Amino acid sequence: MADFLCSFLYTTPNRPGAIAIIQLIGDVEPVLRAVTGRDAWRPGSTGLADLAGIDRGMVARIADDVAQLMPHGGMRVVQRLIARLVELGVTPADVRSIDPRKRYPEADDDVEAIVLHALARARSPLAIDLLLRQRGIWRSRPVIADPDCARSARLNRLIDPPSVVLAGPPNVGKSTLSNALLGRSMSIALDLPGTTRDYVTGRVELAGLIVNWHDTPGLRESGDAIELQAIEIARRLMDSADLLIAMTDYEHNWPELMREPDLKVANKADIRAREDADLAISATAGAGVAEFVKRVRDTLVPPADLAHDGPWLFDERLLSPTVEAAIVTDSARLVEDLMKRLAALERSTRSYPLWNLTYDRFNEWTEAHSINREVLEGMAMDVARMLAKEFLAGRIAYWAADACINAVMVGMDWSADTEFWAFFEAFEASEVDQDPDVTAPETIRALLRKYGYE
C-alpha cells in the first residue's frame, strides 16, 4: 500500500444518482496517477479517464492540492472506487477539521467557503437568503456581542433542525395532526385510545423551517411492554425538546409533562372549543393548522431574528484569526480586480464621461462581489489607500483613483469612518490646477505616510 499524504471526501448524497463526486485533498498528483494511469494532470486540467478499471469518468485537478473524481453515481461503483482509494492509502477526510477553502475551492475567500459549507448543510429553505447575505456582513469585520450570540443560537435552527415533541393523552388527534403536516400517514390514526403504541418521528417543513417532529404515544398507564418503552423514550424526548407542545381536546385534561409546555394546543375545535389553550385547531378539518404552523416556526425562529441585518455566527470558524487575515488579504485581491476593470479605460483622458464611466466600473465591481454598504464601510480605508498606491505606481491615473474613492464615499454612511473622511478630504486637496499626475504624487505619499500606509 502506498503512503499518500492525501484524503478523500464523498461530496454527493449517499444514494444513487447520475454522477458522484469524490474530492481528493492533499498530495493529489500520485493518487491521480495511480487511479488513472496518467501523468498529465496539471492544475486546471480536466479530462475523461479510466478510474482504476472500475469505471470511466471525468477527472478535474482544480488546484495543486485539490482534485475531483466523477464516476457514475451507482452506489456499487462509488463503493468500489472508495475501496480502491483506501487500498492506495488515501484516508477519509475529517469533515470537521478540513480547511473550507479545500472543500470549496471555487470560493473567493474563507468567509465564502464557510458560507458554502453552511448552505450545503442547511436543511431549512429560510436559511438560504440569510446565509447569502452573511458573506457581505462578515467581510465588514463585525464585533460580536452577547445579543448576536443569542440570536445566532436561534438562527442555527435553520441549519440543524430543532426537535419538536407533540405530547398528550390518547385519542386527542396527535397522529391526525402529524399526518396532516407530513402529507402522508406516518402513524395510525383511529378513534381508539392508545392506537399509536410507538413514538413516530419524521422531518416536517413548517413555513420554511425544517424540524424533527416527534409524535409520541398517548401518555397513560399501560401494561404493554412495547408501549411502556415508547412512553419512556417519549419522556426523554420531551426533556430535551427545543419545543414541547401539549395537545388535548374538550374531553380530556391537559397532560402531566416533565416540564411546562412551550405551546398548549386544543384540538377538535370544530366540535367544541376550550378557553385554556394558546391555540385552537381542528386537525381533521384543517381549521387553524396554518396558524399553528406559523406559531411553531415563529417561536423557534422569531421573525425579528430573520429580519435582523446583523452578523449570524453560524460557524465558529468565522471568529478564527486565519479568517480575519484572509478578509484583509482579500481587500487587496478585490482592488486588484477593480484595477483590471479600470485598465480597459483610457488612462490619460480626464473628460467627464470617462470619469463617469470609471464610477460605473466601480459600481459593477461592488455588484460582482456582493459588496453592500456594510462591507464597503468595513473596507473603505483599505480601498482608498490601495487606490492611492495604484496611482503612485502609475497603474491608474489620478482621476480614476479619485472617481473610485468618490464612489466609496457615496456608498457610505457619513459617520461611518472618520479616518476615511480625513483621508478622502486630503486626497481631494492634493489635486492642483496643473496636471495632477505630475504634481500630486509627493502630496499623496505624505498622506499615506501620515496614516501609516507607506
In CATH, what number is assigned to the domain containing residue 196? 3.40.50.300
| Phi (first) and psi of residue 200, to 5 degrees | -125, 140
pLDDT band at 139 (very low <50, low <70, confident <90, very high): confident
pLDDT recorded at residue 46: 94
Segment among 68-77, 149-158, 313-322 with least mean pLDDT: 313-322
69 vs 168, residue with greater confidence = 69
Amino acid symbol at 68: Q
Is residue 178 domain-shared with residue 54, that is, in the same domain?
no
Strand ordering across the sheet containing 46-51: 46-51, 55-63, 66-70, 22-26, 6-10, 91-92
Work out the percent of the chain whose per-residue pLDDT is above 70: 75
pLDDT band at 388 (very low <50, low <70, confident <90, very high): confident
- Kindly state whether residue 243 falls inside one of the protein's structural domains: yes
Is residue 168 domain-shared with residue 283, that is, in the same domain?
yes
E strand or H helix at 392, and its extent? Answer: helix 373-392
Q: Which residue, 216, 219, 260, 263, is CA-closest to 237?
A: 216
Which domain, by its residues, includes 67? 6-98
**Rounded mean pLDDT of 430-436?**
51
- Kindly state whether residue 432 falls inside one of the protein's structural domains: yes
- Kindly state whether residue 114 falls inside one of the protein's structural domains: no
Is residue 186 domain-shared with residue 220, that is, in the same domain?
yes
**Rounded mean pLDDT of 14-30?**
93
DSSP string, 264-330: EEE--TTT---SS-SEE--TTT-TTHHHHHHHHHHHHS-HHHHH--S----SGGGGSHHHHHHHHHH
Asked if residues 404 and 443 have their Cβ atoms less than 8 Å apart, the reply is no
pLDDT band at 350 (very low <50, low <70, confident <90, very high): very low
Residues 172, 174, 176, 181, CA torsion sign? positive
DSSP secondary structure letter of residue 180: H
Last residue of a domain, one of 300, 332, 354: 300
Q: What is the total count of domains within the chain?
A: 3
CATH of the domain at 55: 3.30.1360.120
10 Å Cβ neighbour count for 99?
Answer: 15
Q: Give CA–CA dist 368/285, Å, rounded.
A: 50
Segment among 76-85, 219-228, 372-381 with least mean pLDDT: 219-228
Last residue of a domain, one of 44, 69, 98: 98
10 Å Cβ neighbour count for 432?
Answer: 11
pLDDT recorded at residue 197: 45
pLDDT band at 164 (very low <50, low <70, confident <90, very high): very high
pLDDT recorded at residue 82: 95
pLDDT recorded at residue 56: 96
- Kindly state whether residue 157 falls inside one of the protein's structural domains: no
pLDDT recorded at residue 418: 64
Work out the percent of the chain whose per-residue pLDDT is above 90: 41
Q: Give CA–CA dist 183/177, Å, rounded.
A: 10
pLDDT recorded at residue 136: 78
29 three-state secondary structure: helix
Is residue 327 domain-shared with residue 444, that is, in the same domain?
yes
Segment among 147-156, 235-244, 311-320, 436-445 with least mean pLDDT: 436-445
pLDDT recorded at residue 86: 94
424 vs 157, residue with greater confidence = 157
Segment among 258-262, 267-271, 374-378 with least mean pLDDT: 374-378
Q: Give CA–CA dist 405/423, Å, rounded.
A: 10
Is residue 173 domain-shared with residue 265, that is, in the same domain?
yes
- Kindly state whether residue 195 falls inside one of the protein's structural domains: yes
Q: Give CA–CA dist 362/83, Å, rounded.
A: 51
Q: Give the HSE-up count for residue 453: Cα atoms under 13 Å, Cβ half-sphere.
A: 20
Segment among 36-45, 237-246, 362-371 with least mean pLDDT: 362-371
For residue 189, is pLDDT > 50? no
451 three-state secondary structure: coil
Asked if residues 301 and 209 have their Cβ atoms less than 8 Å apart, the reply is yes
- Kindly state whether residue 121 falls inside one of the protein's structural domains: no
**Rounded mean pLDDT of 437-446?**
65
Last residue of a domain, one of 98, 116, 144: 98
Is residue 434 domain-shared with residue 400, that is, in the same domain?
yes
pLDDT recorded at residue 369: 66
Contacts of 260 (CB under 8 A, 6+ apart): 244
Is residue 238 domain-shared with residue 290, that is, in the same domain?
yes
Is residue 17 domain-shared with residue 84, that is, in the same domain?
yes
Is residue 192 domain-shared with residue 87, that is, in the same domain?
no
Q: Give CA–CA dist 392/437, Å, rounded.
A: 9
Q: Which residue, 280, 283, 52, is CA-closest to 179?
A: 283
pLDDT recorded at residue 415: 56
pLDDT recorded at residue 278: 96
13 three-state secondary structure: coil
pLDDT recorded at residue 195: 39
Is residue 344 domain-shared with residue 268, that is, in the same domain?
no
Pairing relationship of beta strands 66-70 and 200-206 according to DSSP bridges: unpaired
Asked if residues 49 and 59 have their Cβ atoms less than 8 Å apart, the reply is yes
- Kindly state whether residue 55 falls inside one of the protein's structural domains: yes
- Show the 3-state SS of 208-277: CEEEEEEECCCCCCCCCHHHHHHHHHHHHHHHHCCEEEEEECCCCCCCCCCCCCCEEEECCCCCCCCCCC
- Kindly state whether residue 111 falls inside one of the protein's structural domains: no
Is residue 269 domain-shared with residue 355, that is, in the same domain?
no
Q: Give CA–CA dist 246/254, Å, rounded.
A: 7
112 vs 197, residue with greater confidence = 112
pLDDT recorded at residue 443: 74
10 Å Cβ neighbour count for 275?
Answer: 6
pLDDT band at 179 (very low <50, low <70, confident <90, very high): confident
**Mean pLDDT across the chain:** 80
E strand or H helix at 205, and its extent? Answer: strand 200-206
pTM over 0.85: no
10 Å Cβ neighbour count for 237?
Answer: 20
10 Å Cβ neighbour count for 286?
Answer: 11
pLDDT band at 229 (very low <50, low <70, confident <90, very high): low
DSSP secondary structure letter of residue 161: P
Q: Which residue, 444, 449, 450, is CA-closest to 405?
A: 444
Q: Which residue, 126, 101, 320, is CA-closest to 206?
A: 126
Residue with cell 390518547: 170
pLDDT band at 437 (very low <50, low <70, confident <90, very high): very low
439's grid cell: 504634481
pLDDT band at 160 (very low <50, low <70, confident <90, very high): very high
Is residue 20 domain-shared with residue 86, that is, in the same domain?
yes
**Rounded mean pLDDT of 132-143?**
79
